[in-house]
């Protein structure tokens, strides 16, 4: 009974696998047909909304042919419901793209079921020369790697070299090279095609093992109460070992070392083309030829998918670890424990129908004014007293003339100087200004000149411009360009008329430049 019980358990576990559950259902022909029609080597992902409509359309056609289909599949909205059930049964997986679009793809269990159906749909001999030769070559190669005996290792290598050397000498001596018959090539093709059909499900199984390992790590991380430094070191190390922590991951790593050799893949591509160049390939259909010839593409795509999944999950896991707040989780756990303890105390005296009113949100605090700035003693310190009778460091007091030289234009002196220059024969303001004393040719006096010319009505912005040389109070010179402002008898008469500027006392003359 013990032996039969163990076999019963193993058989039961095997039949409960999602791939067998898919094939054991009465509606399996319809479901597998939809998977084979929609997904293929070139189509691994289908948009969710599009796949929902396709499922409804396909099931409607199958129902019209009398096929048994899942209940409600041909109704409006039934495609979405069935896809949700298939995701739950682990036949489909629903993911999101970088743009946020939902899409479906087959799981490794669905690919395994489809591969099994494909293998059963092709007639081939299970025991053949091709299969036995493949087994013998594989056993011989692994026996050579398994035996640590140096002498035995050399003996096996010498035997292989002798066999190859003898064949080379025979061919080089003119021996005939006979191509294999169509039946033998058909048998070898069937064995290779069977292995190729299993590749997509094998790669998908590796992806799923990486995802499952990722979920376990995240769950363990959430339940961990160790210091944050130890957690980061441990889980970053486990993240780097994602591909070596599972049997599928270790198998993929070993195969990846072999398959990432581009020269080897190119040789494989040439060998596949050579096989299809044999006359037996006329028996194959277009789909069989395309699938056999695309074996290298399947390998490359599978490797890229697994590596992309590993990079994406590794980045997600590291972001989760870095941004995870262990202190906050501990505080929340402490709060929930305290609430549970208080609830136990309350239940000792509460009746069976006792209730407690708990507001969903805490009450707001009514505060008329919230202080924004706190008391600072430095703010309340009085400024230092103003020092009186402070003498200049150079000991010299500033005279009134010096103070006036730093102020605005001296309009009265400027008008008098211009009048004298015009009387002496100056034809325009430029000539008159150039003949003034340096004290009246400061840069600021040009503002006074424009002011006077504007009052005289001789200011013309479109007049030709001249270069006015000015002298600063410190003796340095600079030049500005202004109109020439023509002067004549009208200018002399205008300059002799009083302006709106008034003079009172010498003390007020320093402020006349502000007009």
Residue 418 structure tokens: 């211009």
Which helix (H) or strand (E) covers residue 333, if one does? helix 326-347
- For CATH 1.10.10, list the domain ranges present in the chain: 15-110
**Of 232, 229, 223, residue with least CA distance to 333:** 223
Residue 403 structure tokens: 């103070």
Tell me the C-alpha distance between 258 and 252, whole Å.
Answer: 10
| pLDDT tens per residue, range 413-471 | 888 888 888 888 777 888 888 888 888 899 998 888 888 888 777 777 777 888 989 99
Q: What is the pLDDT of residue 512?
A: 35
For the chain, the first-to-last Cα distance in angstroms comes to: 121
Q: What is the pLDDT of residue 443?
A: 92
Q: What is the pLDDT of residue 45?
A: 84
Sorted by sequence, the CB contacts under 8 Å of residue 17 that are 6+ apart come out as 109
Please, are residues 90 and 108 in contact by the beta-carbon 8 Å criterion? Answer: no
pTM: 0.45
Question: How many of the other CB atoms lie within 10 Å of CB of 108?
Answer: 22
Please, are residues 474 and 445 in contact by the beta-carbon 8 Å criterion? Answer: no
Q: What is the pLDDT of residue 81?
A: 86
3-state secondary structure 454-510: HHHCCCCCCCCEEEEEEECCCCCEEEEEEECCECCHHHHHHHHCCCCCCCCCHHHHH
Exposed / middle / buried, residue 51 (Cβ in 10 Å: 0-12, 13-18, 19+): buried
Q: What is the pLDDT of residue 247?
A: 60
- ∠ Cα 137 141 142 (to 5°): 120
Q: What is the pLDDT of residue 470?
A: 92
Q: Strand, coil or helix: what is 46?
A: strand
Q: Which stretches of the chain score pLDDT less than 50?
A: 1, 125, 501-515
The crossing angle, in degrees rounded to 10, of helices 108-121 and 199-222 is 160
Residue 245 structure tokens: 């922590």
Compute the chain's Rg from CA coordinates: 49
Tell me the C-alpha distance between 53 and 60, whole Å.
Answer: 11
Hunting for tokens 């100056």 — which residue is that? Answer: 426
Contacts 24+ apart (CB under 8 A), 257-266: 259/299, 259/303, 260/303, 265/296, 265/299, 265/300
Q: In CATH, which of 3.40.1000, 1.10.10, 3.30.70, 2.30.30 is domain 15-110?
A: 1.10.10
């Amino acid at each position: 009974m013990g032996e039969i019980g163990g076999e019963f358990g193993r058989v039961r576990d095997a039949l409960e696998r999602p791939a067998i559950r898919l094939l054991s259902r009465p509606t399996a022909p319809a479901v597998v047909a939809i998977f084979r029609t929609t997904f293929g080597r070139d189509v691994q992902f289908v948009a969710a909304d599009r796949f929902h409509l396709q499922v409804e359309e396909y099931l409607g056609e199958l129902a019209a042919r009398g096929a048994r289909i899942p209940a409600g599949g041909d109704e409006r909205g039934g495609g979405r419901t069935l896809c949700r059930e298939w995701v739950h049964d682990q036949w489909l997986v629903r993911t999101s793209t970088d743009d946020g679009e939902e899409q479906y793809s087959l799981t490794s269990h669905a690919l395994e079921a489809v591969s099994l159906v494909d293998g059963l749909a092709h007639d081939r001999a299970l025991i053949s020369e091709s299969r036995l030769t493949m087994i013998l070559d594989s056993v011989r190669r692994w026996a050579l790697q398994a035996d640590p005996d140096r002498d035995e290792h050399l003996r096996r290598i010498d035997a292989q070299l002798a066999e190859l050397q003898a064949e080379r000498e025979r061919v080089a001596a003119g021996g005939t090279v006979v191509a294999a018959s169509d039946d033998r090539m058909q048998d070898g093709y069937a064995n290779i095609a069977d292995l190729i059909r299993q590749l997509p499900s094998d790669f998908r199984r590796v992806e799923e093992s990486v995802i499952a390992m990722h979920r376990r790590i995240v769950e363990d991380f959430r339940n961990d109460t160790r210091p944050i430094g130890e957690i980061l070191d441990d889980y970053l190390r486990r993240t780097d070992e994602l591909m070596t922590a599972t049997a599928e991951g270790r198998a993929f790593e070993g195969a990846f070392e072999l398959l990432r050799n581009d020269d080897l893949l190119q040789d494989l591509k040439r060998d596949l083309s050579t096989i299809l160049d044999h006359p037996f390939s006329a028996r194959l259909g277009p789909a069989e030829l395309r699938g056999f010839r695309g074996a290298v593409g399947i390998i490359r795509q599978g490797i890229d998918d697994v590596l992309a999944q590993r990079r994406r999950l590794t980045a997600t896991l590291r972001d989760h670890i870095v941004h995870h707040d262990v202190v906050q989780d501990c505080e929340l756990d402490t709060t929930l424990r305290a609430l549970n303890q208080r609830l136990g105390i309350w239940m000792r005296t509460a009746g069976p129908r006792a209730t407690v009113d708990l507001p969903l949100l805490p009450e707001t605090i009514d505060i008329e004014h919230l202080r924004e700035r706190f008391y600072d003693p430095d703010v309340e310190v009085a400024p230092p007293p103003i020092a009186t009778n402070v003498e200049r460091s150079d000991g010299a007091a500033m005279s009134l003339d010096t103070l006036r030289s730093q102020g605005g234009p001296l309009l009265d002196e400027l008008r008098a100087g211009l009048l004298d220059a015009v009387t002496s024969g100056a034809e325009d303001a430029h000539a008159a200004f150039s003949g003034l004393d340096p004290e009246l040719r400061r840069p600021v006096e040009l503002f006074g000149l424009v002011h006077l010319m504007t009052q005289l009505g001789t200011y013309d912005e479109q007049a030709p411009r001249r270069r006015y040389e000015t002298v600063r109070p410190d003796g340095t010179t600079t030049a500005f360009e202004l109109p020439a402002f023509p002067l004549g008898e009208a200018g002399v008469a205008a300059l002799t008329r009083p302006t709106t500027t008034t003079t009172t006392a010498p003390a007020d003359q320093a402020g006349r430049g502000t007009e």
